[in-house]
Structure 1
Amino acid sequence: MSTSRQPHSQSKNVNVTNFPGRILFGAAYYAEYQPYERLTTDLDLMAQAGFSVIRVGESVWSTWEPEDGRFALDWLQPVLDEAHARDISVIIGTPTYAVPPWLRRKYPETAAQRAPGQAIPYGGRQDADFTHPAFRHLAERVVRKIVARYAGHPAVIGWQVDNEPGIELLHNPAVFQGFVDHLRTTYGDVETLNDRWGLTYWSHRIADWSQLWTPDGNTTPSYDLAWRRYQAQLTTDFIGWQADIVRELADPGQFVTTCIDMGRKALDEGALGQRLDVAATNLYFPMQDGLRHPAPAEPPRAGRPWWLPWSGAWALYLKSDLSYGIRREPFLVTETHAQSIGESHVNYPAYDGQWRQAVWAMVARGAAAVEYWHWHTLHFGLETHWGGVLGHNLEPGRCYEELARTGGELQQAGDVLAGLEPEADVAILYSLESKWALEFQPPIAAGAGGDPDRGAYDRVVATLHQGLFDAGLQAAVLNPRQLGTDPAALAARWPVLVVPALYVAGDELLSLLEQYAHHGGHLLLTFRSGYADEDARPRPRVMPGVLREAVGAHYLEYTNLAEPVPVTGLDGRATAWADALVPDTATPLAWYEHPHVGRWPAVVTNEHGAGRVTYLGTLPDPAMARGLARWVAETTLPDDPWGDRPGSVTVTGARTADGRRLRFVSNWSWETAPLRLPVPVMDLLSGETLDAGTEFSLGPWDVRVLIERNTQNA
């Protein structure tokens, strides 16, 4: 299957953020999973808790279509009717991510393969080759049946196509042949491919397209990068194809989205987002002490499932910033957790106040909806111990009571929250292609064991985001497509641009970054930036190559750091990596304290045109990252009037649709935190007006939402 783009319907301009004039709040609801009939009870409880939306139907293809061609569509009608009677809106999911047993039995050729000839055993999800014509036929058939049946129901506001796409890299024969066709279109002839990929190495040169080997044994970095790009495009094309089908049948005003679990293997969130009407993501994060701020320097492994690598309030904000960055507009939280998440042995439900804090944090960073996965804890299946709003006893408890309070607050806030634009002091450039390349050839090790860290890129991004957050700064996340082509406009919009480990980049992108600094921006680069070209080939130049003059320094070698190394000039330690930086015109900011690497600076900064380039040659620990972020702020950004606050308190800002400034003030600790107001405000939830200089206290795990008064709109 070729990844060449076919004509398709563009995403609609659906103003989901204003429906129904407030933040949507609710949960995934599966009446078909309940151990006994309780639809009326459940929806009454939801209405009483201020829930305004439910998500239904996405996981039960075998219920929608019990046998091949025999459909049962009416079972959802009572759920929609009862929801509508309580003014609860509904998002219906198409069920194509989990196939019924009859489909695997009758159409075994549709099974996805993780390696050539090795079908994924039945029993999980995303185990079908969604490019296969037979699967596409069956998927389209069931989707059309469901949408035609329920598009006209007044409760339905939107559609979720599939669910958490991009989990698998497909190795089916037709997929591989489609990849070969794609390469033929991209490179034109095998000699160009041989040259671009460096296939002279290890006798990999091919004389004909039929000689290209399958990816399961590949060792060539350029091949791997092309394979990952292709797989992500397959996912985008599949979701876009299904979205177009839904749009044919959906009522005007109904939106189309999918549930994005960020970071999946075969997923380009930015490209996929352009095929949707609104982005929707899953935001899971540790609770209890996993939401402390500041986070401990070395968070304990216990307290979070293995697939959540980070702890601290900053991690929730990073995921929210990544979500907003998909389309640079408000997003839906399709899933977040009510109680325990993950395995049966990982049970850390929130402390009192943390559910409420998390909701307001997501809203502050652009969430137009917050939905829990899920309403009730399941009594069967793999996710039996993934806690819902209600536990196995199906009785309202501590979680329900706090969510009911939060739902009431969201209703009280009303349309003030519709279409919020999160404020940001700095922008972070997120390069998915650099992430893929550094998964294939990680520059640093994971922990003390010495194994390669396949998550190295995200580790660098997370470290810098945490440093910014700990320094009191707010971040926006951009992908390279969102930078535009005008460096002066980029510098005017984003006075600071953080570029972590931009390993894969063309000369055009690097030139844009250089010109961004020349036109007045402060460019913060890290190690591995500018090192390889678009095909992941290291550049045959003295590094940092294209950016050397702008950086004002160069290096001829680098080393891993087996142990953290203290630095002078900034607090904290350098970890994992050190570029052997030699200043040309740059000024050192920090030096390693070490008999060998101490001859080189860890950080340098250089005036460039009207702006500045700062180069970080190592992976800082949290203290060093915070210190560097503070230096950048002092050098480049205006003073923050809210900067004088206790260490456990964060203040984030957002603009309302009419230009007013909201401040979300949170205390991420057990200790009561005093705060003196730098400006006059009104408490959005109580209506209380407070003058500048007023002192008030935030209780443990508390949050207040304030509107600044008598300030000019931006």
Structure 2
Amino acid sequence: MAELPARVLFGAAYYHEYQPCERPGERLKTDLDLMADAHVTVIRVGESVWSTWEPENDVFDLDWLQPVLDGAHERGISVVLGTPTYAVPPWLARQYPEITGERRTGERIGWGARQEVDFTHPAFRFHAERVIRKIVARYADHPAVIGFQVDNEPGNELLHNHGVFQRFVDHLRERYGDVETLNREWGLVYWSHRLSSWSDLWTPDGNAQPQYDVAWRAFQARQVTEFIGWQADIVREYARPEQFVTTCISYTRPAVEDDELTDPLDIASGNPYYGMQDALQLPDPTPDGHEQIWQTTGTWALYQTADWMFSSRQEPFLVTETNAGSIGFPWDNRPAYDGQWRQAAWALVARGARMIEYWHWHTLHFGAETYWGGILPHTGRPGRTYAELARLGAEFEAAGPLVAGLEPDADITMVYSTPSKWLMQKYPPLAKPDGSPDPAAYHRIFDPFYRGAFDAGRQVRIVHARQLHDPRGEREGLTPEEAVRRHPVLVVPALYLATDSTLDWLAAYAHAGGHLVLGPRTGYADEEARARAEAAPGRLTEAAGVAYDEFSNLVREVPVRPAPGSPLHVPEGATATRWADGLTVTDAEVLVGYDHPHFGRWPAVTTRRHGEGRVTYVGTVPGRDLARGLAEWLTPSARHAWGALPVSVTATTGAAPDGRRVHIVHNWSFEPVSVPVPVDLFDALTGARVPAGAALDLGPWDVRVLHA
């Protein structure tokens, strides 16, 4: 069984082969000595240089990595060895042009970047398997190697190659059996799309049918999952039992379904890149309309990324890449303020990270990522970044096993639906300010609920819908009763694609004692993206005590106010944004209404007892203040028990592997602050006792790690 060291691994991606120096042996020694001095315990190597491993077809150079592994092992530094399949060598592209990926049917991607390949093509698979076997057979037994990363940030393209499309048709034939069934299930009578044979199916380039898109996106993700699982199986033929196999996930890639992608792996890994400097400030200055991308903005978004990574397997995870220096392009240079590296790393550890690995050790002198800052600058000499991270490495060493694999606490659980997100990228319910479709609509609905909880000082667990209930029966899932014990408050916004059995499970969860919170678009369509014929939210109308068949976009924020006697505190100036469901109350208590001459006829938030539990319906995308008030009502006291904290301070709690309680407290600002300690604690880094009631001092951009 794969094992990890009993401490948080700390290190960087290391590319000795990239360094332009006359004395590579001396540079290697210097690098490794600097790593040891900074308490580095892990490096990742080898995943980006197929053309170095195999400079010509069937001509291999495998020995160049030996000095790196030997030197690392001599200094007690572990190694994660990567397979180099995401960056295809030019000779392979030249000799087998048919492996080139296509973003549109018949239009090949130009070479010169990375991930331009159709990774399903047999010619690519042949050469990829050969180089994987050569590398892993050569180094699997090296004592420094503790695990393997297969490929790198997969799922970057939606491949339109002929072979991919033909396999898609075969998949549909297997699933639906015959074209008449497909015609019926997809509603292909519309616009005269009825098929008479499977060869009639059009390619995805011009598709306008949502049902097609649902199947196409799911199929694309399965190709990525199969590819990563295929590599993992090859590696395991050589790996020692204690060595792990993973891949590093960029969670926003279009062909990634992370909870399935990680099934064939031993542990989830990902690359949480985030904006630094003022982007981590609290209170958060980021405009509400800011679109989150692969590099997030806002402290809340950093925590959300970590919770998303934990959600993949509902287990602790590895950080395979994160900001060493300024991450971006020549026009975006914002390296961290002093203290922010420590803060971000400890935030990730607080939410379950077992490794913090920076990208990367050296700042590159050439290539597309010349201005993606490493731990060492272009001079190769230690500077401010190195000093800050060396301090962090010493802290991880001091904390030891206590923080290696924390089980993060949660006040609120949120249900995530990747298929619903995919559909909303092409058929969004929301528009941008200029009236054009907003492909970020799913997160525009989901994120305000998460951010409201964060602003209220509540911690969030993210679960994928199929981890709770799998309509296909491929996963065990949870009974409603077990879910109530684990997740007493379940917030479900934007679950647009949902089977009848999923909606029935949600109703049963509330009946068993859970507090189910439904948000906009949840339950409106079935698993084929067909709008349900009954009033929304479909099979949940009785449990919720509300129904609607009318809805509207909100082109500007609408003020909201509490209903008379409402237990939900609505802050002054709270608003509804983006969306309003025209809710008709059949058997529910109105908590919040719209202050508007038209929308005021409908409630914005309702609640109803259902069995032993409760169903609350939020018919709008809550503005920041309403979202915070909603989270405070759902969970009147935060589990971390630190009480009302200054606006710049967060407290995150969890359980250590040995059961001890860990408290990680941050001050996300330039202003020093003191907060009272709620219970007797110890400083995890110094061992000093911190009694209940004592003032915990936090400097600018500071973090304290404590335990009971």
TM-score (norm 1): 0.95
In structure 1, how many angstroms separate the alpha carbons of the residues matched to 2:601 and 2:98?
61
Partners of 1:363 and 1:231 lie apart in 2 by: 32
Give 3-state SS (helix, strand or coil) of 2:549's partner.
strand
SS of alignment partner, residue 550 of structure 2: strand
- Distance in 2 of aligned mates of 1:657 and 1:485: 23
- Unpaired runs of 5+ residues, structure 2, are 469-476, 563-569
Three-state SS of the structure 2 residue aligned to 1:454 is: coil
**1:548-627 to 2 correspondence within 5 Å?**
548-569=541-562, 570-571=570-571, 572-627=574-629
Q: Could you give the per-residue CA deviations for residues 308-362 of structure 1, whole angstroms, max 9, x where no partner exists?
A: 5752211110000000111111110000011111111111111111000111111
Q: Which amino acid aligns with 1:505?
A: A
Give the structure 2 partner of residue 119 of structure 1.
108
Q: Which residue of 2 aligns with 1:474?
A: 459
Quote the Cα distance in structure 2 between the aligned partners of 1:544 and 1:558. Answer: 12
Equivalent residue, structure 1, for 2:508: 515
Q: Which secondary structure does the structure 2 equivalent of 1:336 belong to?
A: coil
Q: Which residue of structure 1 aligns with residue 46 of structure 2?
A: 57
Instruction: Name the amino acid aligned to 1:565.
Output: V
Specify the alignment match of 1:351 in structure 2.
337
Q: Identify the residue that residue 706 of structure 1 maps to in structure 2.
A: 706
Q: Which residue does 1:546 correspond to in 2?
A: 539
Check the 8 A contact 2:269/2:320 in 1, yes or no: yes
Rounded Cα–Cα distance in structure 2 between residues aligned with 1:164 and 1:396:
29
Q: 1:95 is matched with which residue: 84, 107, 113?
A: 84
SS in 2 for 1:705: strand
Aligned position for 1:25: 10
Query: Shift in Å at residue 639 of structure 1?
Result: 6.8
Check the 8 A contact 2:274/2:295 in 1, yes or no: no
Query: Counterparts of 1:427 and 1:164 in 2: how far apart (Å)?
Result: 27
When the two structures are aligned, how many residues end up with a matched partner? 687
Aligned counterpart, 1:502: 495
Q: 1:154 to 1:92 in 2, by over 3 A?
A: same
What per-residue deviation string (whole Å, max 9, x for no partner) do you get for residues 419-450 of structure 1? 3211111111101111111112100112x222
Q: How far 1:418 moved relative to its partner?
A: 2.3
* One-letter amino acid of the counterpart of residue 488, structure 2: P
Residues 701, 126 of structure 1: CA spacing in aligned structure 2 closer, same or farther, 3 A cutoff?
A: same
Deviation at 1:673, TM superposition (A): 1.4
Asked if the contact 2:546–2:583 (Cα under 8 Å) also holds between the matched residues in 1, the reply is yes
8 Å contact from structure 1 (residues 294, 470) kept in 2:
no
Tell me whether 1:282 sits opposite 2:271 in the alignment. yes
Note the C-alpha offset of 1:388.
0.6
Q: Which residue of 2 aligns with 1:378?
A: 364
Amino acid at match of 1:579: D
Matched, 1:204 2:193: yes
Indicate conservation of the 8 Å contact 1:294/1:312, yes or no: no
- 1:450-479: CA deviations, max 9, x gaps? 221111112222211111111111111111
Describe how 1:213-612 pairs up with structure 2 within 5 A. 213-296=202-285, 298=287, 307-308=293-294, 310-446=296-432, 448-483=433-468, 484-569=477-562, 570-571=570-571, 572-612=574-614
In the aligned structure 2, how far is the partner of 1:638 from the partner of 1:488? 23
1:692 equivalent to 2:692? Answer yes
**What TM-score, normalized to structure 2?**
0.95
Deviations 1:71-112 (A, max 9, x none): 000000111011111100001110000100000100011111
Q: Which amino acid aligns with 1:682?
A: F
Q: Which amino acid aligns with 1:412?
A: A
CA distance in 1, matches of 2:217, 2:151: 21
> 2-side partners of 1:624 and 1:425: how far apart?
18
CA distance in 2, matches of 1:309, 1:340: 11
Map of 1:10 onto structure 2? none
Q: What residue is the counterpart of 2:62 in the other structure?
A: 73
Q: Give the equivalent residue in structure 2 for 1:7.
A: none
In 1: Cα distance, 2:488 partner to 2:673 partner: 32
Distance, in Å, in 2 between the alignment partners of 1:140 and 1:392 is 35
Amino acid at match of 1:318: Q
SS at structure 2 position matched to 1:388: coil
The SS at the match of 1:335 is coil
What is the CA–CA distance in structure 2 between the aligned matches of 1:247 and 1:499, rounded to whole Å? 38
Q: 1:299 deviation in Å?
A: 6.4
Determine whether 1:130 maps to 2:119: yes
Work out the CA distance in 1 between the residues paired with 2:286 and 2:269. 31
Counterpart residue identity of residue 589, structure 1: L
| Deviations, residues 135-155 of structure 1 (Å, cap 9, x unaligned) | 100000000000011111111
- Cα shift readout 1:651-696 (whole Å, capped 9, x = no counterpart): 1111011111000011111111111111110111111102211113
Of stretches 318-327 and 643-652 in structure 1, the one that deviates more from structure 2 is: 643-652
Aligned to 2:670: 670
Task: Output one character per residue of 1:94-133: Cα deviation in whole Å (capped at 9) or x when no partner.
Answer: 0000100000100011111111111111111111111111
Letter in 1 for 2:631: A
Moved more, 669-678 or 495-504: 669-678
1:82 corresponds in structure 2 to: 71
Q: Please report how far the alpha carbon of residue 306 of structure 1 lies from its aligned counterpart in structure 2 after TM superposition.
A: 8.1
| Structure 1 residue identity aligned to 2:662 | L
Cα deviation, 1:383-440, whole Å, max 9, x if unaligned, reads: 1111111111111111110100010010011111223211111111101111111112
For the pair 1:154 / 2:143, whether they are aligned, the reply is yes
* 2:473 corresponding residue in structure 1: none
Q: CA-atom RMSD, angstroms?
A: 1.3
Give the letter for the 2:544 counterpart: V
Offset at 1:254? 1.0
Partner SS, residue 452 of structure 1: coil
Q: CA contact under 8 A between 2:648 and 2:668: conserved in structure 1?
A: yes
Letter aligned with residue 667 of structure 2? N
SS in 2 for 1:75: helix
CA distance in 2, matches of 1:535, 1:671: 52
Matches of 1:581 and 1:291, distance apart in 2: 38
Q: Distance in 1 between matches of 2:34 and 2:640?
A: 43
Report how far residue 252 of structure 1 moved.
2.4
Cα displacement (A) at 1:641: 2.6
Displacement of 1:583: 1.2
**Distance in 1 of aligned mates of 2:704 and 2:458:** 19
Answer yes or no: is the 8 Å Cα contact 2:409–2:639 preserved in 1.
Answer: no
Post-superposition offset of 1:297: 5.8
Distance verdict in 2 for CA 1:306–1:121, change over 3 Å: farther
Which is worse superposed, 230-239 or 667-676?
A: 667-676
Residue 357 of structure 1 aligns to a residue in which SS? helix
Amino acid at match of 1:560: N
Aligned position for 1:14? 2
Q: Distance in 2 between matches of 1:392 and 1:639?
A: 45
Uncovered stretches (5+) of structure 1, i.e. residues with no partner: 1-12, 709-714
CA distance in 1, matches of 2:74, 2:176: 58
- Distance between the aligned counterparts of 1:419 and 1:544, measured in 2? 39
Q: Kindly tell me: are residues 498 and 96 of structure 1, through their superposed partners in 2, closer, same or farther at Cα, counting changes over 3 Å?
A: same
Amino acid at match of 1:40: K
Relative distance call for 1:639 and 1:137 in structure 2 (3 A) is closer
CA deviations over 1:516-568 (Å, ceiling 9, x no partner): 00111011110100000010110011111110011111112001011111111
Task: Note closer, same or farther for the CA distance 1:308–1:108 as it changes in structure 2 (3 Å cut).
Answer: closer
